[in-house]
Amino acid sequence: MVAAADSLVWELVKNNNSFMRKKSGRTSRSGSIRFSVERGNLTNKSSYKYSGLANSKTIDISSVGDNKAALTLKTKKAATSGKSGKTEIALNKDFRRSEKTIKSQATDNYYRPDLKSAALAKYTVVYRSNRVAKGVKKAVPVKKGRGNSEAASDDE
């Protein structure tokens, strides 16, 4: 595969690619919202900053089997070589040590310091979902409707 500049790759894939999911807005004024589900995209937003396709350096946090998480980095030298161009770091320690690992990989070696907060947010969600899957923590109930049904029944 031929190496190309990140900005050129983004110009080619920004309007249409196989990972894009377009959701129509609620009104005609708001238009449609574009999400992206490619690997390496921490926030699932279709933008150059978070794109896993267009950037030669990406950070991805995902849940791997048996309720564990992994931090995956794309190496710049082998960015176009598929699986061999990725480094996977297990995040199987407690929350604070894993958080320190993410911070050090993103910022201390100047990899992608702009993605530090997004990576920590994604790890928090993955960690919480793994704890729910293990049965350590109960799932948060989904709120439906405008008001709280318990508060309405207390007033009557």
pLDDT digits (tens, 9 = 90+) for 43-90: 988 899 998 888 888 899 998 888 889 988 887 666 566 667 788 889
Q: Residue 70's domain spans which residues?
A: 6-134
52-61, 102-111, 135-144, range with the lowest pLDDT = 135-144
Whether residue 1 lies inside any domain: the answer is no
Q: How confident is the model at residue 28 (pLDDT cuts 50, 70, 90)?
A: low
Q: Give the C-alpha separation, 140 to 142, whole Å.
A: 6
Whether residue 153 lies inside any domain: the answer is no
Whether residue 116 lies inside any domain: the answer is yes
Predicted pLDDT at 107: 87
Place of tokens 């799932």: 139
**CATH number, position 130:** 3.30.390.110
Strand 68-74 relative to strand 59-64, pairing: antiparallel
Predicted pLDDT at 144: 84
Predicted pLDDT at 99: 92
Whether residue 95 lies inside any domain: the answer is yes
> Would you say residue 117 has pLDDT above 90?
yes
Specify the number of domains making up the chain. Answer: 1
Whether residue 39 lies inside any domain: the answer is yes
Q: Give the C-alpha separation, 133 to 136, whole Å.
A: 8
Angle at the Cα of 43 (from 39 to 45), degrees rounded to 5?
90
Predicted pLDDT at 2: 64
Predicted pLDDT at 145: 80
Whether residue 141 lies inside any domain: the answer is no
Whether residue 143 lies inside any domain: the answer is no
As given in the structure block, the two tokens for residue 71 are 């931090």
pTM equals 0.76
Whether residue 152 lies inside any domain: the answer is no
User: 152 or 23: whose pLDDT is higher?
Assistant: 23
Say which amino acid occupies 125.
V
